[in-house]
Chain A
Amino acid sequence: MAENGKANAETKTYREALREGMVHEMENDESVVLMGEDIGVYGGTHLITDGLYDQYGPKRVMDTPISEGGFTGAAIGMAMLGMRPVVEMMTWNFSFLASDQIIQNAAKVRYFSGGQVKVPLVIRGPNGGGVQLSAQHTHSLENMYGHFPGLKVVSPVTPNDAKGMMITAIRDDNPVIFLEAGALYGTKGEVGEGDNAVEFGKARIAREGTDVTLIAYGRQVNLCLRAADALEEDGVKAEVIDLRSIRPFDEDALVESVKKTHRAVAVQEQWRWFGVASEVAAIIQDRAFDYLDAPVIRVSGAEVPAPYARNLEIEAFPSEKQVANAARRVMYMEEK
């Protein structure tokens, strides 16, 4: 898989990369505006939009009241009239309050208007847990939003993808649910200069291997990479696939990899029931059944609301050990 726009790359944080993607499009297109709670004067809870209020002013970097349904709906209206709003959900946990707007209006209005309108809207913010925010502030919502036709759902993990997929999201004429790996805002990586747009619906091979395929998205990709290191010590070469995009979904990348490795483990932070990993397993059995040498295993979060205590939180999410052992299981090796 091509690493887009890396010819001239600089090391940046995930946070800086997101900001750079938004700025890139704001410079190109007057219709792009940012909205959200404390994204302006305050600079953003997670400092993603820091400095942009001074740069672009209050008409383009709009501080909103704490009113997710209201401002998300207003952004949908703006998008229907040709603007390109980028809405920050301070965290995706608050999007339940806006879900009527996202699901009932943004996702469907093009369809029920017979194609008379479009909704070029990005809703972005941190998704998932890992920073001890406990039950109400920890959700992974990719399966929920990925369920609805009319939405696009992406989940970048590298800083390069954070920027490149942000550019693509803003240019897209459809509502894009942009799920950021909140726990990784401070992580660094090489980020392509200028226009490094990353196409949606193309998975990335994060590590090549021949013996087992580990499939993830968001911060679980990094977990899989660490598990792959551990497996290497056992002589197992694991391939790691970063889905990058949940809707559209790159089925071919999974199928091609499994045809090579004959074994697959799907990893997700979210709860197992009705999750993305189940979809991955279903696609593989549907399209690569004859190539499989073992059942596809899902590694998921514990079926509990997210706890606070650090040790409990760690236990609630998939671990490197669980992923490596799942790989050993589909290899019919002894677990460690």
Chain B
Amino acid sequence: MSAAENEKNGDVQSASEGAVATSGDRLVDLYREMVLVRAFEDACQRGFRQGKIGGYLHLYTGQEAVATGFLEAFREGDRVITAYRDHAHALLLGADPNEVMAELYGRGPGLVKGKGGSMHLFDVENGLMGGYGIVGGHIPLGVGFAYAQRYQETDHITQLYLGDGAINNGAFHEAANLAGLWGNDGMCPCLFILENNQYGMGTSVERATAQTDLTVKFDAHGIEHEKVDGMDLEAVIEVAERAAEHVRETGKPYAVEAMTYRTVPHGAADFFEKYRTKEEIEKWRERDPIGLLEKKLIESGAAEEEKLDEIKDEAKERTNEAVKFADEAEQPPIEELYTDVYAGEDEYMGEK
């Protein structure tokens, strides 16, 4: 089975089947958010090629509807944790684009003071408990958040994002097992959001596992699940609201596999993409989540083309402002090297 056909595997929820009640105005707002994420990341790519952004850079281009849709179900006090493809999650939760770009530029006013870079965006005040760089390594943490949320007798939940590449990792299976187990006692309100972009770096799902229906992996741990078309924002919202509600009410984990596609390379330095064809990428670009939403907004009369162009221009402007801010911001002061190693008075042990 080719990766492009992978979405046909199982029952994929689509908007036409789902009872969607997202208003036109709200969809326009979400369009604005998605377009900002896209414009922001286009600027990241340019910054990377100019040498302004160092390290690794993993873009979310093509996958925007997933986080945008699921974060519609986010309520104050909820927590979000994801891997290293984390720019969208930070921006959608309300992080200042200037601070996010400053982080990528390695500047002092960066979201995490220039200490983490692209892979480690944190905005705890807004619910983002971090981006993490080791595939699968963050999953047990998210399950722990969910236990704490119930132990502390709140009705908050954790949205735990992971990629298809993480699902064959021991950390996933150990954490999912705990989630299922603790969920039996109503102690694990964890919503697993499996962003199946069909490639773990350059290795397609069918080259990574014999069980290509990835939701089946959750069955092994007693976690209920479903699939959704991750390119269709309205479908994602419908599933997200329902799944989040279920998790919040029951304290049990639940998993949604969002079928999606990264239309840019895995990392910004990965130019050649030997693992997939141009035709496959083109085919998926036709189902680009922003393009699909645009079409829907125009057809339904929720917005005119001019309005959408205006939104795109605003996003570019906002992005340019962020780039300017980052470019002009000071580097972190050298003293910052020695802070935040330990909590408490002695933040650093060693010679300076």
Whether the pair A173, B344 counts as a contact (CB closer than 8 A) is yes
Residue ID in chain A nearest B348 by CB atoms:
A149
Per the 8 Å Cβ criterion, residues 68-92 of A in contact with B are 69-83
Per the 8 Å Cβ criterion, residues 1-54 of B in contact with A are none
Q: Is B178 an interface residue (CB 8 A)?
A: yes
Residue ID in chain A nearest B154 by CB atoms:
A81
Residue ID in chain A nearest B147 by CB atoms:
A78
Whether the pair B340, A110 counts as a contact (CB closer than 8 A) is yes
Query: Smallest distance from the beta carbon of A321 to chain B beta carbons, Å?
Result: 36
Whole-angstrom CA separation of A115 from B146 in the bound complex: 22
Residues on B with beta carbons closer than 8 Å to the beta carbon of A82: 148, 152
Given contacts A104-B137, A114-B116, contact A74 B144 (CB under 8 A): yes
Given contacts A72-B140, A82-B148, contact A118 B343 (CB under 8 A): yes
Q: Is A174 an interface residue (CB 8 A)?
A: yes
Whether the pair B137, A174 counts as a contact (CB closer than 8 A) is no
Per the 8 Å Cβ criterion, residues 112-137 of B in contact with A are 112-116, 120, 122-124, 129-130, 132-134, 137
Per the 8 Å Cβ criterion, residues 145-193 of A in contact with B are 149-150, 152, 172-174
Whole-angstrom CA separation of A115 from B112 in the bound complex: 8
Whether the pair B144, A75 counts as a contact (CB closer than 8 A) is yes
Q: Is B175 an interface residue (CB 8 A)?
A: yes
Q: Is A143 an interface residue (CB 8 A)?
A: no
Residue ID in chain A nearest B110 by CB atoms:
A114
Given contacts A69-B170, A81-B148, contact A114 B177 (CB under 8 A): no
Q: Is B341 an interface residue (CB 8 A)?
A: yes
Task: List A residues at the B interface (Cβ < 8 Å).
Answer: 33, 58-59, 64-65, 67, 69-83, 100-101, 104-105, 109-120, 149-150, 152, 172-174, 247-249
Residue ID in chain A nearest B123 by CB atoms:
A116
Whether the pair B144, A77 counts as a contact (CB closer than 8 A) is yes
Interface centre among A33, A77, A79, A111 (most CB of B within 10 A): A77
Whether the pair A111, B341 counts as a contact (CB closer than 8 A) is yes
Residue ID in chain A nearest B113 by CB atoms:
A114
Q: Is B196 an interface residue (CB 8 A)?
A: no
Residues on B with beta carbons closer than 8 Å to the beta carbon of A83: 148, 151-152
How many B residues touch the partner, as a band?
35 or more
Other-chain residue from B124, B173, B177, B341 in contact with A116 (beta carbon distance below 8 A):
B124
Interface centre among B113, B140, B146 (most CB of A within 10 A): B140
What are 12 of the A-B contact pairs (CB < 8 Å)?
Answer: A58-B185, A67-B178, A70-B175, A73-B141, A74-B140, A77-B144, A78-B148, A111-B340, A114-B112, A114-B115, A114-B116, A117-B122
Other-chain residue from B146, B149, B341 in contact with A149 (beta carbon distance below 8 A):
B341
Apart from A74-B141, A80-B141, A119-B343: 4 A-B pairs, beta carbons within 8 A: A73-B175, A74-B143, A100-B137, A111-B115
Whole-angstrom CA separation of A112 from B170 in the bound complex: 24
Whole-angstrom CA separation of A104 from B147 in the bound complex: 21
Task: List B residues at the A interface (Cβ < 8 Å).
Answer: 79, 81, 110-116, 120, 122-124, 129-130, 132-134, 137-149, 151-152, 170-171, 173-175, 177-178, 181, 185, 187, 339-344, 346, 349-350
Whole-angstrom CA separation of A66 from B309 in the bound complex: 55
Whole-angstrom CA separation of A190 from B140 in the bound complex: 40
Interface centre among A33, A74, A173 (most CB of B within 10 A): A74
Whole-angstrom CA separation of A77 from B140 in the bound complex: 7
Whether the pair B177, A70 counts as a contact (CB closer than 8 A) is yes
Whether the pair B344, A174 counts as a contact (CB closer than 8 A) is yes
Residues on B with beta carbons closer than 8 Å to the beta carbon of A150: 341-342
Whole-angstrom CA separation of A114 from B124 in the bound complex: 11
Other-chain residue from B114, B138, B339, B343 in contact with A174 (beta carbon distance below 8 A):
B343
Whole-angstrom CA separation of A112 from B120 in the bound complex: 6
Query: Smallest distance from the beta carbon of B162 to chain A beta carbons, Å?
Result: 13
Whether the pair B344, A100 counts as a contact (CB closer than 8 A) is no
Query: Smallest distance from the beta carbon of A119 to chain B beta carbons, Å?
Result: 8
Other-chain residue from B134, B173, B346 in contact with A248 (beta carbon distance below 8 A):
B346
Query: Smallest distance from the beta carbon of A150 to chain B beta carbons, Å?
Result: 6
Residues on A with beta carbons closer than 8 Å to the beta carbon of B139: 73
Query: Smallest distance from the beta carbon of A282 to chain B beta carbons, Å?
Result: 13
Interface centre among A72, A78, A82, A249 (most CB of B within 10 A): A78
Given contacts A82-B148, A115-B339, contact A77 B141 (CB under 8 A): yes
